[in-house]
Each structure stands twice: as structure tokens, then as C-alpha cells.
Structure 1
């Protein structure tokens, strides 16, 4: 079935690192408004805005203390309403990032819940008695050695899947669910176009909270019985009544699990982020990546919609982690874009990706804000591990790799702020910035713009069947997308060396027509059988 959200390209705005208009060192919603023309020029359809709700900001806004108001750092409700209006005025849509697995420990619900065992809101969160004078079980949280925090006042533990400051809501409580649905309607009635739902598969907990054999493998936190009842109820009560897009952040899933969340007959969510690439593939592995793509394509084909991304605010920038951010940065950034925008699913662009921004490598743990990284560093050093070794082991997957400010130009602080930025700017901003990209017709930016406009005009990129012709090749990725008699051939050399292309049987390229290439001198006239592809070369042909 054709829908607007399947045809969308989504641009993620991590607003605190986007553009600062008041000099406090934090990006703000006013800054997003000021740069909307830039986002519009790229050609994207949907802006995904990271959380900007009221929050003490222990985890960059993912610890919400008031769902119905805005964080002062971000701006006022009036500014937010102007942002929504300006986004719509430009023909784009806005989806909000929403966290309903947990709140801040400063949310009024939790302040009441923790005040006494007989408070009416006690059951809004998950409280348990100690077991043998210790934690109720051996579960580990994402950010800490235990999911349990002891509360002296009431002599019980509360559960937090993330930081101590982020207590998990008790979704078994029908009143909690109704409060959440009411809040979702509040934003939808303001006119937003959907939600990105943070760790949405963690809402249901394992019945009885039993200890596990291997607490470090934390997949017991997600996909538990009852989760689909909650999401179907959410859809029934809220989501189905609006013409919106919903994308769930869903770790620990296979295509079989994923289909339960996004199957069009399931009435839950539209699409999902799975993490078989971004979480489970630490460095580039071509054969593994192809195998993941094949399984997800077959698993969702004709029944549900995937998402395509390789970086976001939680994952190192793709050109650094999965490409070559040195000699072939520009070619590599364009190749990765070609791949993400032509594989089956909705493509996401993380701010700065469109100019080929790279991951950062700071010198000291003190330069990093990432609560997950800092907690892990402290935990390992406290065990007696060498601080420098621990620091270096955490560098590649630090969430701050992708959180440095957008590099707007080559002036002080990359034109992001007139103050001191909340996190240091990547030192390479003098060479990599928006001003330079917009002045260069062959930049990564204009390549993205062209790819996105091609996708808009050619349904084959959205609805086309997918077939891989290069399964076992460790460097080349060659696949087709076919739809209504039209076939496109995508050829990618994802390596630092020249590779000779040998096309498989069943590919007739006699009447080929070049659609786009990331090396300027490709004309479309050259033969492609037995062609030597240059490092990180990407081409798309109609055949």
C-alpha cells in the first residue's frame, strides 16, 4: 500500500547541537527555525526532533520531568508552535521524539510515588522489596551495573533500565497508560505529524522479575509478553485517529520479532529502527551487512516497512565508523548515502551527515558528556582497570562522537554559538562545514540533494523489489531494485582499493542509462562489465 510516510526522507535534528541563537552554548528551537531553509533545500520531507520537553537534562532530554512543557534551554511553547508552523509552511512534517518507558526522577509522578508506600501514585513505577538484603534480582541496566536503586525513605528498590535518574514507568498500571495516551493526544492535537518512540519495546517487563544466567546480555529488558497488547491499545486509543508516522526504537529484534511491531495487519507502529547494524556490527563487515539486509527484506516484504540508517545521536558518524573519513571522506560519504537511500526502507539523515561530518576523538574523559560512557568508565576504573585503556576502549562507540555541534562555517566555534559550546566542536570544522559545502557544486550536500530528489521522482527506489547479485563479495555490493517494469542497478565499491566488477548472470545492461555517480567523470557511456571501480565508487544505472 502506498503512503506518504513510506515515501519520506527523514532528517534528524539533535537541536542542542544544531544552532545556538542566544549564546548560552546550547542549540535551541529558535536556531532550528533560523536554519529551516537549509533543511528544506536538502529536499527532505520529515524532521525528527529530539526531546525538548521539560527535563533536568541528566541524559540530554531523555529524562522528562513534564511532558506538556518545554525545556528552558530549547525555548518556549510559543517558539515551538512557531517552529511547527514554519515547518508546515515549507511543506515538511515534524515528528517528536517521545520517551514513555521512563520519566525523570524529578517528574511529579515520581516525587509522589517515592514519598510513601501508600501514595496513590506508588504503583506508577516499579517498586520491589530487597531480596536477601540486596537488589531484587541481578539485572543490569544500560547505564549502570544494576537496574535497581534503593530508596532509604520507603526501604524498597525502584527499577531504572537506564540511569538512576530515569525510573521506569509501570505499564501494567492502566492509569499510567491513560495518562500517557492523554499526553500523546495533547501533542497530536497541536498538529505534529507523528512520533519517534524511544526504546518502545521495553515497556513490558518479564513476569516475576527472575534473576538471569547472564546479566550482561540485557535483551531480557525488551520484547516481553504483553508488549504488543500495550502497543495495540496505544494504536486503538490514539495513533489510528491521526494521519501520522510512527517509528519505534526497537533493540534486540530479529525480522520475525520486528514484523510483530510493524506488520500492516498488526495495528501497532508503521516502521522501526532495529540495531543489527548500529549496535551489533562494531566495524564495517560487508558480508554481514548484506546478510542483515537480505533477512530484513525477506522478513518484511509486502507486510511491513523497514528504516535505513547507520548513524544518529547514539551512534558514531557513519563515515568514521563504517566508511573512510580520511583520504576518501567525500567519496565514502557519498557511497554510504547512495546505499542508505537505495536499500528497501525509509532513509534517515542525521544532521551533519549531509556534509560528511566525521566522528570526534577528544583527548580526555573530561571532554565527554555521554552519561553511558562516563558511567562505564567509572565502573571499570573502580574495578582496578587501567584508566587510559578503559578510555580508549570506549572511544569508538561513545555517543558523543556524533553529538558535536553542526559545523556551519570556518569561524570561531564553527559558527554554532557565540558562547562556549556545551560540548567541544570537532577541530576539523575549518575544512568541513556547511558554508564550504554550499559553495561547492560537487559537495556531499549536493549529492544528497540529488539523491533525495531522484527518490521523490522514482517509485522504484521506494517500492522496488530488492535482489543482491554480490552476496559473498567482501568489497562490492551490487543489487537491483525493480518496480513496474523498471529496474535500477546499484553498484558500490565499499573499499579503499580498486575492485574489478564482474556482473552476474541475469543482468542485461545493454541499454543502460546512468542515473547518478559519485565520481564526476562517469558519463554512462563506459562499459560496466569487467570495469575497475575506484575506491568508494558508487553508481546507479537504469537497465
Structure 2
């Protein structure tokens, strides 16, 4: 297996609106990030993934871009960006930008011209279709944020496609001029010194056009005309062709890191896209494990919640570990700006918060792939106790509430419970720096409420506590850096059918590491399989105090206990 710096790195995602405000307007900004680079250095991360900071009207919090070469005024200026980048590089930390090129904002100059006339040279930068026979949208695609994925444009007498908000029209990657524009803006940022890109919903750029240019209906999976479009629009026929062209025109000219967000991706597609010989990207964000607590086919989509089963998690992670080894590379994550807090989702955000947050961290960093830590995850930050729609800021949650409660009269308590479990705003509450009224995030009024538990859960308190979640993350990141087997070692699961314990080996040459995680709030008996011949088992890391005289071959794991041992 080829060794690469991005395989050995740990990536930290910053959601700039919620990280640190420097000027008291209640919105995080680039100078605020610069002021907190020391936190990232102390944690030990190698790369920062920065969610979009480009100019944007903020319909979807920056994922609707109106100028790809400028900075959102709320966040600062290009000079502030350069200062932040220099500070990161000075501390040995690389920067990965968010590349959002499946769609732009409808306020981008390209779309302003495109919608004016069918004869405008920018018209073909976007995807247009005539109404269906008898009028109405061209097909049954439902947008990710609700409603039809098609919006009428009076000036041209056509519908334009938007797989997300109507203010996020999809770009037409069939147009070589559009692709050239994208490659130019990538060169612009790489030329400024950034170190790579996370590519937003990149496996949607190739649409499934039929021979006549039609876009087929999505499969019917729920009552009504509109049907979820994602399954119909991901991994289109020219995806790999487009990404190989991107690699040829841009990426191969830089020593950079690339990760593609890829909803609905399979392991086969993961291998195709991340293979070092024939692929185009370093790794993908796949979503299998993020869907294990959703009810398949539920009319609410992702909001239809169920408890996740550990065996399902094992099966999903093992499939991706086994099938990509030597043929691609995994990204490892439990949270980001689109997901709820992992300790609330997969652990215990009450009495067992600290040990369960450490267990989840040990689980993630013990697998093969590049780990991603989302801001606040290193503190064990939790979901927010939303009271109702007045607390929401995210377009997805707001639209769900409007459609379900206001539109269909669904049970208010059930909808609110789903948003508390799955809402994206859970990840977007301000970073909790200290116990002051606004958690040290701002001297003004924060754009979204600070979690009321910030007096207990914050950076200042965890810096001073050697047993904190933060200090456990520091030790894990340092351990991964010192143990090549944690980066390159082969993954082999054991106790595959155990309902409480997820355990596996990482093996590199003669080095064997054992990772053991109890995913439940109850004790669980661990028995080392007989075929594993061991005489010593030095402990590398744990989230409880461990008696060195304890026999590893059979012992009781405490609630949410996690360990990594070397087997000798």
C-alpha cells in the first residue's frame, strides 16, 4: 500500500459561522478562526476542512455561492483569508476548502444571465427543461429540502433544476465551458496556497440523461407525485469521466487532499473513484452508517427515526474496510455540519457522556482511513434541546416543520422529537470555549442559540482536566501518529455477532493491535478468540483506568468502555 501524508493525517472541520466571532456581530469569522489556531495545534490535527466562506446570500448557510473568488462579507475579506491560511501553515496545519460546484446560488452572475434569455451564452451553464405534457414540472423529482426539484422561470418559459433549494440551481457539467470555469476557480484557490478540496455532493454532477435528453422519473417509494431524487441523480454515467478530467486539468498539478461527498455511494463506486491508479479522488464521504437510524421508506425520509443496531454498524463498516483495502481509501467520520452530535446519536449524552464520547472517538480512530473530527466533537458537545420552530435556523429543518406541522397537521411533538434527533442545527450551535454567557463565542448576540450545557462542556474546563474528552482526543491523535498499524494495518473483525461489543484487529507485518468498544450502557463480557495466541497485551489507550494485572483473554467491559491493546 502506498504511503501518503493525507492517509496519515487527522482532519478537523470548521463551520466558520459557529466557530469564533471576532467583532461582536454574533457570527463567526475568519479572524476568529485565526485567533483559535492554537487550539487546533494543541489538539494535534493536521488538516482543517473549512466549510464555505465564499460570497453567498446564505439561503443554505454558504452552500449557495454567488462568487467563488471572494469572501462572504460577514466572514471577512480575502486579506483575512490570507492571514488565516498563513497562521495555519505556520503551525504545520494544511487547509482544505469546500468546493461546491454541483450548484451555485441563483444570485451568481452566471445564473442572473442564464435565466434572462435562452440565447444568453450562460444559459447552458444550467439545466433547463420544458414543462411536462399538460404543464407542470418535467419529472417527479423531489428536492432535498422539500418540494419539486424544478422551478419555473418566466423569462424563458422553462423549468430549471435545483436538487436542493430553489435558490441553488444545478450546474450543467455537460457544458465544457462550465467545466473550464470550475477548473479555473480551483486553480485560483490552489494558487493561493490551499491544500485541497472537500467536494460537496460531487457524485451528483453527472445527470442520468436518456438518449433524447430526458431526465427519468425517480422510483416511487412513497405516496404522492414527488419522489426523492437522490437515488436517481447520484453516480451518473459521466461522473468518473468528469472527475478524471478534473484530475488531469487541476489536481495532478498539486500535492493536495481531495474528498468527495457521495450520497448513495456503494463500495464499488468508492473503489472506482478513490483507486490510486484509475480513480480521481483520495477518498469519499459515504453515508451508509449515517442512515442506520432511519426507517427505510418512511414518508418523512431521514426524519423517520429508529434506534441503530450495532450489528448493522459492524456490517456496514466492515464492508467498506474490507472492500477498499488496497483498492481505495476510506474517510472516517461520525459527525459534520449536516449530522447531529454523535454522543447524542450513538452514545449517551447524559450520565455516561464522557466515557461514551471517548468510546466513539476510539472506535473512529481505530479503523483504517483518514479520521475527521467536527468542531466540538473533541469536547463531547451534545444535541440542542430545541423548543420549537423559533429555535431553528436550518432551511431543511424549517421546511420539514412547515410541511409536516403547518401543511399536513402532523403531531407537533413527534416532529420536534425528530428535529432534536436529526436536525442539522444540532451541529451548528456555537463552539463552546468557556462558561461565560455566550460560551466565549461572541460578545454580541449569537446567530443561533448557544447550548445551555456550555457551562459544563467547554474548552477551558477540558484543557484543565486530564480525564476530559478533549485530552482523550489528543492522546488518540498522538497514538495514531506513533503507530503505523493504526494507519496502514489490515482490519480484521472479531466477535462479529456480539450484540454489545465491536472489536477488531489492526495488523501490519508482525504488529497486532486490538481495538475493543462496548457500544452500550451495560457491562459486557469480552472473550478473546482462542485462535489469537497472546502472552502479553500492553495497553495503549483506554477510557477507564485498567488494572495491568487483568487477564485480557476474558474480562468484563464497563459501560461504553473502549481500549486499544498491543498483542504480543
* 8 Å contact kept, 1:56–1:106: yes
In 1, Cα distance between the equivalents of 2:416 and 2:523? 35
**What corresponds to 2:277 in structure 1?**
265
Paired position in structure 1 for 2:518: 493
Distance across 2 between alignment mates of 1:299 and 1:524: 36
Whether contact under 8 Å (1:310, 1:318) holds in the other structure is yes
Which residue in 2 is equivalent to 1:278? 290
User: What is the Cα deviation at residue 379 of structure 1?
Assistant: 1.8
Secondary structure of 1:412's match?
coil
How far did 1:254 drift? Answer: 1.4
**Structure 1 residue aligned with 2:231:** 219
Q: Distance in 1 between matches of 2:414 and 2:86?
A: 49
Shift of residue 385, structure 1, vs aligned partner: 2.6
Give per-residue Cα distances to partners, 1:96-116, cap 9 Å, x unaligned: 011000000000000000011
Superposed CA deviations along residues 383-424 of structure 1, whole A, max 9, x for unmatched, are 333444333333311100111101111111111111111100
Determine the C-alpha separation between the residues in 2 that align with 1:63 and 1:216: 21
C-alpha separation in 2, matches of 1:393 and 1:362? 11
In 2, distance between residues paired with 1:428 and 1:384?
32
Runs of 4+ in 1 over 4 A off after TM superposition: none
Indicate yes or no: 2:320 matched with 1:296.
yes
Q: Give SS of 2:75's match.
A: coil
1:432 paired residue number: 457
CA distance in structure 2 between the partners assigned to 1:200 and 1:522 by the alignment = 45
Could you tell me which runs of 5 or more consecutive residues in structure 1 were left unpaired when the two chains were aligned: none
Residue 123 of structure 1 aligns with which residue? 124
Contact kept in structure 1, 2:141 and 2:229, CA below 8 Å: no
- Any residues of structure 2 matched to 1:365-444 within 5 Å, and which? 365-380=389-404, 381-444=406-469
Equivalent-residue separation in structure 2 for 1:481 and 1:104 (angstroms): 45
Alignment partner of 2:216 out of 207, 210, 215: 210
Q: Give the corresponding residue for 1:3.
A: 4
Q: Give the whole-Å Cα distance in 2 for the aligned partners of 1:269 and 1:510.
A: 42
Q: Is the 8 A contact 2:386 2:416 kept in 1?
A: no
User: Is the 2:230–2:263 Cα contact (8 Å) retained in structure 1?
Assistant: no
User: Is 1:464 aligned to 2:500, yes or no?
Assistant: no
For residue 177 of structure 1, the aligned residue among 167, 175, 179 is: 179
Q: Is the 8 A contact 1:46 1:92 kept in 2?
A: yes
Task: Quote how far apart the aligned CAs of 1:217 are.
Answer: 6.0
Name structure 2 gaps, 5 residues minimum. 221-226, 295-306
**Does the aligned pair in 2 maintain the 1:110–1:125 contact within 8 Å?**
yes
Could you tell me which residue of structure 2 aligns to residue 256 of structure 1? Answer: 268
Is the contact made by 1:319 and 1:325 (CA closer than 8 Å) also made in structure 2?
Answer: yes
- Aligned Cα root-mean-square deviation (Å): 1.1
Which residue of 1 is the match for residue 157 of structure 2? Answer: 155
Which secondary structure state, in structure 1, belongs to the residue aligned with residue 12 of structure 2?
A: strand
Structure 1 match to 2:111: 110
Task: Give SS of 2:260's match.
Answer: strand
**35-44 or 143-152, which moves further after superposition?**
143-152
Residues 443-492 of structure 1: CA deviation (Å, up to 9, x unaligned): 11111101101111110000001111110011011111010210001111
How many Å apart are 1:151 and its aligned residue? 1.1
Partner of 2:360: 336
1:415 aligns to what SS in structure 2? coil
- Work out the CA distance in 2 between the residues paired with 1:157 and 1:193: 38
- Equivalent position SS for 1:112: helix
Alignment partners' CA distance in 2, 1:394 and 1:86: 37
Give a deviation string over 1:274-316, Cα, whole Å, max 9, x none. 0001234344321011101111112101011001111111000
CA distance in 2, matches of 1:322, 1:345: 20
Contact 1:284 1:323 in 2 (8 A): no
1:357 aligns with 2:381: yes
How much does 1:508 deviate? 2.4
Question: Take 2:234 and 2:97, find their aligned partners in 1: how far apart are those partners?
Answer: 22
Q: 1:314·1:399 contact (CA, 8 Å) conserved in 2? A: yes
- Cα distance between partner residues in 2 of 1:55 and 1:428: 31
Q: Secondary structure at the match of 1:414?
A: coil
Shift of 1:232: 0.5
User: Displacement of 1:338 after TM fit?
Assistant: 0.4
Please state whether the residue corresponding to 1:293 is helix, strand or coil.
Answer: helix
What secondary structure does 1:67 align onto?
strand
In 2, Cα distance between the equivalents of 1:5 and 1:273? Answer: 15
Matching residue of 2:341: 317
Q: Which moved more, 1:265-274 or 1:505-514?
A: 505-514
Q: Within 2, Cα distance between the matches of 1:306 and 1:333?
A: 22
Once the two structures are overlaid, the 10-residue window that deviates more, 64-73 or 495-504, is 495-504
1:495-514 equivalent positions in 2, closer than 5 A: 495-514=520-539
Normalising by structure 2, we get a TM-score of 0.94
State the number of aligned residues.
542
Matched residues in 1 for 2:25 and 2:107: separation?
Answer: 24
Distance in 1, matches of 2:230 and 2:409, equals 24
